[in-house]
Amino acid sequence: MKRIVLFASGSGTNVENVVQYFSENNQVEIVAVLTNKKEAQVLDRCARLKISAIYFNRHAFMESNLISDFLNNLNLDLIVLAGFLWRIPKSLIDHFPDRIINIHPALLPKYGGKGMYGMKVHEAVKENSEPETGITVHYVNEHYDEGAIILQVKTFVDAADTPEIIAQKVHKLEYEHFPQVIEKLLFKG
């Protein structure tokens, strides 16, 4: 049995997509979803999907070993960031080397870094008249969006595309490719 935990800060559409993707796979268990926002919509999604969800604050994550100790006891194969906005502490990265991945809604290294998430990314792509954008799935290191790239998938941006249309194109790529990457990483070798 492969065991994963997902981290999210927002609505949880990628979390729900991953949960549904693995719902018929008896070799993968989504142990829990962790969030740093009390009012995150992902909590409602988890309740509906009957997935354990846990809220934690900055102190528990950054200044204590509470979350690290919790994760260490779960015998995890992979930690998946699906719209999680905090930087991961080095101690956690060191404990789970090459077992923490993230999805970013742009073709890194463009439009990455602190503060570049969600619609901010798509607005920047539009503002700079980029001919293409896409998704990047990457390993997590101690810097925002700078870990080794696992997969990039592109989509064309039409000059008439609004940031909302760009977002729709990127979400489509996320929903199609992110669960597949997770599956390949879980069962590689």
Residues 174-189: pLDDT tens digits? 999 999 999 999 998 5
Residues 118-130: pLDDT tens digits? 999 999 999 999 9
The whole-angstrom distance between residue 13's C-alpha and the CA centroid of its chain comes to 10
Give the closest residue to 86 by CA, choosing from 119, 60, 122: 60
Helix (H, G, I), strand (E, B) or coil at 116: coil
Does this model's pTM top 0.85? My answer is yes
Helices 13-22 and 41-49: crossing angle in degrees, nearest 10, is 20
The catalytic site residues sit at 104
Task: Tell me phi and psi for residue 67, to 5 degrees.
Answer: -70, -40
Q: Given this model, what pLDDT does residue 42 score?
A: 97
Please state, in angstroms and rounded to a whole number, the distance separating the CA atoms of residues 110 and 133.
9
Q: Given this model, what pLDDT does residue 189 score?
A: 58
Helices 163-186 and 119-127: crossing angle in degrees, nearest 10, is 120
The conformation of residue 59, written as its DSSP 8-state character, comes to I
Tokens representing 171? 């979400």
Residues 44-80: pLDDT tens digits? 999 999 999 999 999 999 998 899 999 999 999 999 9
